[in-house]
Amino acid sequence: MVKKLILLAIRKYQTTGGSKQHFNLECNFEPTCSEYTYQAISQYGVLAGVSKGLQRIKRCNDPDCIHKINDPLV
């Protein structure tokens, strides 16, 4: 139940503009941090997925990054 709610919240965030709209920031990664977190939660469950997502978000939004970094979920 919690997993479904979190995944639904992530999709809502994505459909309403994501980081560009909500925080005026652009993700440095492909897939985006929200998509990466969505995939991680789907694959590894809530605790491990959220942990992986937070680790990814901590590395994001480097203002000096010119090109998107390809970093798929492994």
Domain boundaries, the chain: 2-61
pLDDT of residue 25: 81
pLDDT digit string (tens) for 12-24?
999 999 888 888 8
Indicate the pTM of the whole model. Answer: 0.88
pLDDT of residue 19: 84
Give the long-range contacts of residues 35-38, CB within 8 A, separation 24 or more.
36/71, 36/72, 36/73, 37/10, 38/7, 38/10, 38/11, 38/14
pLDDT digit string (tens) for 46-67?
999 999 999 999 888 777 778 8
pLDDT of residue 22: 85
pLDDT of residue 74: 84
